[in-house]
Amino acid sequence: MIKVLPLKGYNSLKALNACNALLLGLKMMPAYSALSYEEFFDSFKEKSESERETALREAVAFVELQQDEVEAIVSFTCDPNGVPYRKENIKSLDVKQLHELIVAVCMEIGRIDITIVSEDEKKKSQDLA
């Protein structure tokens, strides 16, 4: 079981952005390209935990992340001794370990309810319709 540390500080925002980059990259794949962005993200929200994890595993396997994005995500996990991963000790991880850590953190980020449009804005737009 991978322990995910509390998602706080600047790196949490960078990790969120990296997870969104993974999802956007996944949306560009042929299996999802016919969907609009809204349809894609709505379908992702409707997936079970297991289905989301499978989709994230696919994204991590096919979408390239920059080094700083990987470092930001992985910084929210620990090695077997409980020491948080940092730039220096991430270098010792193999691809399977990196893959697992990235998926674990992205799953945790996916549990955070972040909305772009506030409830007030939604209500106002519905009142205008």
Segment 10-21, tens digit of pLDDT: 999 999 999 999
The kind and range of the H/E element at 69 are helix 67-74
Percent of the chain with pLDDT over 90: 68
What's the rounded Cα separation, in Å, for the pair 129 and 122?
A: 11
The kind and range of the H/E element at 87 are helix 87-90
C-alpha dihedral sign at 116, 45, 27, 9? positive
Domain ranges of the chain: 10-128
- In the structure, what pLDDT confidence band is assigned to residue 45 with cuts at 50, 70 and 90? confident
What's the rounded Cα separation, in Å, for the pair 103 and 100?
A: 5
What pLDDT sits at residue 41? 87
